[in-house]
Amino acid sequence: MGFNTEDIALIRELQRDIYLDSNPLQRVADSLGWSLDRVIDRVKELKAAGVIRRFGAALTPANAGFKTNAMIVWDMEGAEGFSIGEIMASHPRVSHCYIRPSFEGFQFTLYTMTHADSEEELQTIINDLSIKSGLKRYRILRTLKELKKTSPVYFG
Amino acid sequence: MDSIDREILNIIQSDFPISTEPYSEVGRKVGLSGDEVLIRVKRLLRDGVIRKVGPFFDAVKMGHKSTLCAVDVPVEKITQIADMIAAYPEITHNYLREGTPNLWFTVIAPTEERIGEILARISEDGGVGPIYNLPAKKMFKVKVDLKIVGA
């Protein structure tokens, strides 16, 4: 998707820290000199096009009751990736699911990020995923520390 | 957090209204005024339950390249490398994890060349490596919308 200068100006304004206002998009409209309806319509279009993949609140899982957050990496053992990826992704406690290249000493290529309330629940999720996908070899990479979590800045 | 907080969180994670008065709209669903919802959202943000409210752009549709990188860093160098990483706006996430490699971070930049440049700089200046660059071959899901139970 190519962006014209008006979209770029809109995207810049949308990235400002304005969402704790009762009418945040009015502030965007005021800054751009657009009508509020025009802002709302264009934001909805960007969302429908998937340019905005989500609009709303992001949580810090550890502070929202998800005490055990872990990246589980799976050895696909030559299995067909697409159906297994879809199966893993359909689990409600899997937030991210990707196939990535293997590297030296690390044969795991299917990555699933999971969020659990407890260690017991994590084990249940892993068992579910293993049974549904048929994959047996995995490694649990629990989050020990979140060192950085920010959002990228576009057209900064 | 009470049950109304959880209800609000479940709504505003995926269904934040793109409208004139989003918090009033959420309030109508949970039986509060817009101001009351906003007060709760501000508290949840202050307590660190909410990290951010706003739009999340698709890096690829924005014409950017994104990748996950892994590097094994000796324990005594973690702080130094984390500080270097913190200085790059292109590096958005960085986690210390169990196992080897232990440091996992994501890079989003306009070009692959820029990603390569950042990785080379961290490797040289930090004296760590190899840094494994693991761009997704196939993406199945990115949905950081966590259904909170007990609402």
Mean pLDDT for all residues in chain B:
93
Candidates B34, B51, B96; nearest CB to A22? B34
Contact partners, residue B28, CB within 8 Å, separation at least 6 = none
Range B96-112 average pLDDT: 96
Range B49-76 average pLDDT: 95
If asked whether residues B42 and B88 sit together in one domain, one would say: no
pLDDT above 70 for B144 = no
Identity at B126, one-letter amino acid code: G
Answer whether the bond into residue B101 is a cis peptide, omega within 30°: yes
Q: What is the CATH number of the domain that holds B120?
A: 3.30.70.3460
Q: What is the CATH number of the domain that holds B14?
A: 1.10.10
Collapse the DSSP code of B54 into the 3-class scheme (helix H, G, I; strand E, B; otherwise coil) and give the result: strand
pLDDT above 50 for B151 = no
Range B141-151 average pLDDT: 65
Range B19-47 average pLDDT: 97
If asked whether residues B69 and B125 sit together in one domain, one would say: yes
Chain A residues 35-64 within an 8 A CB cutoff of chain B = 36, 40, 43-44, 46-47, 49-61, 63-64
If asked whether residues B34 and B72 sit together in one domain, one would say: no
In this structure, the number of other CB atoms found within 10 A of the CB of residue A83 comes to: 10
3-state secondary structure A4-30: CHHHHHHHHHHCCCCCCCCCHHHHHHH
- pLDDT, residue A70, reads 94
Contact B9 A53 (CB under 8 A): no
Q: What is the pLDDT along chain A (156 residues), one digit of tens a residue?
A: 578 999 999 999 999 999 999 999 999 999 999 999 999 999 999 999 999 999 999 998 888 888 899 999 999 998 876 789 999 999 989 999 999 999 999 999 999 999 999 999 999 999 999 999 999 999 999 999 999 999 898 987
- pLDDT, residue A61, reads 85
Domain membership of residue B41 (yes or no) is yes
Tokens of A67: 């005490």
- pLDDT, residue B93, reads 95
- Cα of A23 to nearest chain B Cα, Å: 5
Domain membership of residue B95 (yes or no) is yes
Domain membership of residue B141 (yes or no) is no
Any bridge partners for residue B142, and if so which? A96
If asked whether residues B39 and B71 sit together in one domain, one would say: no
Q: How far apart are CA A29 and CA B104, in angstroms?
A: 39
Candidates A46, A99, A151; nearest CB to B52? A151
Q: How far is CA B32 from the centre of its chain?
A: 29
pLDDT above 90 for B150 = no
Tell me what ipTM this predicted complex has. 0.89
DSSP summary character for residue A145: E
Domain membership of residue B51 (yes or no) is no
- pLDDT, residue A62, reads 85
If asked whether residues B41 and B75 sit together in one domain, one would say: no
Per CB-CB distance under 8 Å, the chain A contacts of B49 are: 59-60, 63-64
Report pTM.
0.88
Tokens of B47: 């307590």
Answer whether the bond into residue A61 is a cis peptide, omega within 30°: no
Domain membership of residue B56 (yes or no) is no
Per CB-CB distance under 8 Å, the chain B contacts of A111 are: 68
Q: How many domains does chain B have?
A: 2
**In whole angstroms, how far apart are CA B2 and each of A111, B5, B10?**
33, 5, 13
- pLDDT, residue A1, reads 57
If asked whether residues B39 and B81 sit together in one domain, one would say: no
If asked whether residues B42 and B80 sit together in one domain, one would say: no
If asked whether residues B76 and B23 sit together in one domain, one would say: no
If asked whether residues B80 and B108 sit together in one domain, one would say: yes
Task: Tally the residues of chain B.
Answer: 151
If asked whether residues B10 and B38 sit together in one domain, one would say: yes
If asked whether residues B113 and B74 sit together in one domain, one would say: yes
- Cα of B151 to nearest chain A Cα, Å: 13
Structural domain boundaries, residue B99: 65-134
If asked whether residues B34 and B83 sit together in one domain, one would say: no
Domain membership of residue B139 (yes or no) is no
Identity at A23, one-letter amino acid code: N
